Amino acid sequence: MKKIFVLIRDKLGDTVIAFQALAAYRAAHPDDEITLMVHAHYLPIIAREKGYRLIPYRSYFQAISWALWQRATFQHFDVVLVLRGFGEKVAKLAKTLPATQRIHALNRYPEVFENSPAAPDQHSESAQIHIAPAMRGLQVLDAALVCPEKLYLAGLSHYRKTPETVVICPVSDEIRRTLSPEDVARLIPSIQQRHPGLKLRILVRNSGESGFVSGEFAGAEVLAFGNIEGLLQKLGQAAAYYGSDTGIYHIAAAMDLPSVIFFGPSQPYKVILPAQKTEAVRLEALGQTHCDNKACQTPVCIHRAVANWAGKPAPDTPTPENCPLNPQ
């Protein structure tokens, strides 16, 4: 039996993916004692998962204070494992905790994390799959550990109710991954045909986000979910999910919701695990090209993918400079 401390400190989608990898290890090693530190904002996502001692934190001060208390009370971990997390504060936290092994899944700070996996060939497809780094970190402990076939968190079944709605979630932290009001208006007739008798809900974090104001919109209802708990409750009432490649999609997938995801700059194979109930929609013209222009303000790739899927005329928007859709 190992006593393991795990840190997951990242954005929403990366947190869900890293936790799914950890769940695979948990299932293979039920006797290990796993302490998991995660931001309190994300706690509702994993609060009902079994087999973990959860340490939520809201600030670095709170996290390092907990680590110092472990040291002061002579606690010891066999392993300190960072599945997601960057920066010197993460290294300091790991160094503070008394441990036999320290592992960083992304092979950072080798002077602190002496047992990290070797960096992979970044050009290989397998290395680019989003769950791969967390799996490599865990495979230091169990070389035979197999990558999950899908995202699925059993504790989220608590939120699943009799389906009454279909959810469209157009928002993202990046404009290049955001569905515009025009995109959503194009989608609604096709979604209504696919799901007769179900209400359409457009979920945003706050009213007015990305041009979606709470109330009626083209035959759908715009609702602000506000926080993670509100999001889980609203997803739990849904029969299906429509959106783009965002962290919220990963929660929908972990709730086992059938999903249609519109991809622009990113590639579906990196994100969607083989057994997920997800239809990926991306322009064939992009091939396997990845766009690194995070400052893109005109995601023509997503707008055209939406129009093609909905059977509507594509918007006549010029492609931005350096767009992969431009002739080479």
Is the pLDDT score of 292 beyond 90?
Answer: no
CATH architecture group of domain 154-310: 3-Layer(aba) Sandwich (3.40)
pTM exceeds cut of 0.75: yes
Per-residue pLDDT band for 79 (boundaries 50, 70, 90) equals very high
For 243-271, what is each residue's pLDDT tens digit? 999 999 999 999 999 999 999 888 999 99
Question: What SS3 string covers the chain?
Answer: CCEEEEEECCCHHHHHHHHHHHHHHHHHCCCCEEEEEEEHHHHHHHCCCCCCEEEEECCHHHHHHHHHHHHHCCCCEEEEEEEECCCHHHHHHHHHCCEEEEEECCCCCCCCCCCCCCCCCCCCHHHHCCCHHHHHHHHCCCCCCCCCCCCCCHHHHHHCCCCCEEEEECCCCCHHHCCCHHHHHHHHHHHHHHCCCCEEEEEECCCCHHHCCCEEECCEEEEECCCHHHHHHHHCCEEEEEEECCHHHHHHHHCCCCEEEECCCCCHHHHCCCCCCEEEECCHHHCCCCCCCCCCCCCHHHHHHHHHHHCCCCCCCCCCCCCCCCCC
Between the ranges 50-59, 201-210, 315-324, where is the mean pLDDT highest?
50-59
Lowest mean pLDDT among 3-17, 213-227, 245-259, 313-327: 313-327
Query: Domain 3-139: which CATH class?
Result: alpha beta
The pLDDT, as a whole number, for residue 127 is 65
Ranges of each domain in the chain: 3-139, 154-310
The two domains 3-139 and 154-310 share their CATH topology (first three levels equal): yes
